[in-house]
Amino acid sequence: EMLMFAMLLAATGGPLRVLGLQVELLAGQTEANLARAEALIRANPGHRLYVLPELSSHGYCDEVLSQLDPTRPERPAQDAESGSVTAFFCRLARDVDAHISYGFLRDAGAGRTCICQAVVDPRGQLVLAYDKMHLCDMGDCSEIAHGCSPGEGELGVFECDGVRVGVTICYDLRFPELYRALAWDAGCDLILHPAAFVRDATFPMYHQFVATRAVENGVYLLSVSYAGERFGSSVACPPWIGDVPGLAAPLAAASLGTAEGVLPLVVEPRHLEAVRRAYPYRRDVHPRLRAPPAQGDRRLQRERRVG
């Protein structure tokens, strides 16, 4: 039984080099935002996955969200597969031979607009388009008031060099059930958290939530926000913070300030195995809390493949 448990928890590939891009927010300037993302990616070669913030292609702000009226001729929402933003990142991903995760407003049809985080692979193909499940209407956020629609509850999961990666967006961080489903049920070893984490009354708990989600699930978590005085503090968190039996050095989170910059994270299978062996939450959870979900539960749609 213990052997099977260890096999299930073992990571499937070698170290995975990931880079978060804390970019400046350029409100409504799609071409400029795409150009800045490309410049940072090309200036930092050698990573297998690049991650941009929430709505990185448009800039997260009231100025952009206020344009969601479906009757507006200049509405910024695009189709996930055929839009110009996806076409841009497909070309760039092929060129740099890496996965790229980027944010944009997705036209979901029937007048609905979703906050979407998509992923393209090194072949230049769209492999995931995750719609934000939990919309924020507290603090300085007003996504529902502006007319955004929540995702339908499908998990966002893709594979990058043998590592299963989950995708969440900003306010999703507040809901442990989503992270538990990604980590324990969908088998993710890394969870991405593109965000636009405003420095309002909720900001002081930002890093505490990130660390909790990573440690309670035994996964890596990369949270990428915007640069600037109203945002900043992107954070990369390992599956444990502190000493881990079997590892030579303690594990620690890393974060940025408010300036534009990049945040590296390396997913180490050896560290994942050591953490899960030393702190076996998955083994020790009460069986009632591990009961399989009812058939047809849309929360546990494992992957949303596109293209």
Tens digit of each residue's pLDDT (9 = 90 or more) over 49-102: 999 999 999 988 777 877 876 666 667 889 999 999 999 999 999 999 999 999
DSSP conformational letter for 183: I
- Sorted by sequence, the CB contacts under 8 Å of residue 71 that are 6+ apart come out as none
Residue 186, pLDDT > 90, answer yes
CA–CA separation, 256 vs 142, rounded Å? 26
CA–CA separation, 88 vs 34, rounded Å? 8
On whether the CB atoms of residues 233 and 257 are closer than 8 A, the answer is yes
CA–CA separation, 51 vs 54, rounded Å? 10
Q: With pLDDT > 90 as the criterion, what percentage of the chain qualifies?
A: 72
pLDDT, residue 292, reads 59
**Which one, of 10, 293, 303, lies nearest residue 177 by Cα?**
293
CA–CA separation, 165 vs 192, rounded Å? 7
CA–CA separation, 114 vs 304, rounded Å? 15
Q: Would you say the C-alpha torsion 67, 70, 76, 81 has a positive or negative sign?
A: positive
Q: Which residue has the higher pLDDT, 9 or 267?
A: 267
- The stretch 268-296 carries a mean pLDDT of 84
CA–CA separation, 84 vs 58, rounded Å? 12
Residue 299, pLDDT > 60, answer no
- Sorted by sequence, the CB contacts under 8 Å of residue 2 that are 6+ apart come out as none
> Backbone phi, then psi, for 253, in 5-degree steps?
-80, 160
DSSP-based three-state secondary structure for 76: coil
Angle at 196 between CA 223 and CA 82, to 5 degrees: 95
Q: With pLDDT > 70 as the criterion, what percentage of the chain qualifies?
A: 87
**Axis-axis angle for helices 84-96, 30-43 (nearest 10):** 10
* Residue 43 exposed, middle or buried by CB count within 10 Å (0-12, 13-18, 19+): exposed
Q: Which amino acid type is present at position 220?
A: Y
